[in-house]
Amino acid sequence: MTDVWSNRADAYRTSAIHSEGPDLDLVVAWCEPAAGVTVLDVATGGGHVARRLREAGATVVTVDPAPGMAADTTAPAEALPFADASFDSVACRVAAHHFSDVVTAVREMARVAKHRVVICDNTFVSESSEEADRVRDPSHVRNYSAPEWHSFFELAGLEVADEQFMQRPLEIQPWLDRTGTSLEDQARVRELLGDRIEDGWMQLPTLVVKGVKK
């Protein structure tokens, strides 16, 4: 899927829902950016978390498996090429549903963090919604529930210090266009999502979790 994501890079750099929002504000705030603070942005995508952290004075290293995302380092979240406790904070926003092994990824983020890990992702709604995500984008693995995220953090040796649940408004057509979804598949996605879509928009349930090293 790496080449697919490289081809999508520009679409994600300019995507409104990725470049702004209260979830982005919270991820940045919970990383506690300031001069002298180091942060690793995992699966940086369009680089929006990194941009905001740098604006707040932090020193940021970005990592992403897709070369086209132009991260500082090309690597998957499940195998971060950094020493233990290399960064004050580690952030990962709206990417974990693509990870092939989410538990290993969270463990890796905890390993390279000195103090805290902040993860934001869409949460599970239903199996039909999961199928819609996979039809739209075959690289989608799964959205997880809040209790599942708590278990992932526990397995990684992280204590949940704070969390916030929110709804993010998603415009359907640009969302389908970003992944080049065929017209036939677009119709299937809309069918699977059913009454979650209203006037061309859908609410995305989203969880932001901050874990601290035990």
pLDDT digit string, tens, across residues 159-210: 999 999 999 999 999 999 999 999 999 999 999 999 999 999 999 999 999 9
Q: Are 71 and 13 in contact (CB under 8 A)?
A: no
How many whole angstroms separate alpha carbon 109 and alpha carbon 107? 5
Structure tokens at 123: 């949460």
Q: Give the residue among 16, 14, 69 at the shortest CA–CA distance from 42.
A: 69
pLDDT digit string, tens, across residues 103-137: 999 999 999 999 999 999 999 999 999 999 999 99
Apex 145 CA angle, 176 and 76, nearest 5: 65
pLDDT for res 22: 96
pLDDT digit string, tens, across residues 23-74: 999 999 999 999 999 999 999 999 999 999 999 999 999 999 999 899 999 9
pLDDT for res 8: 79
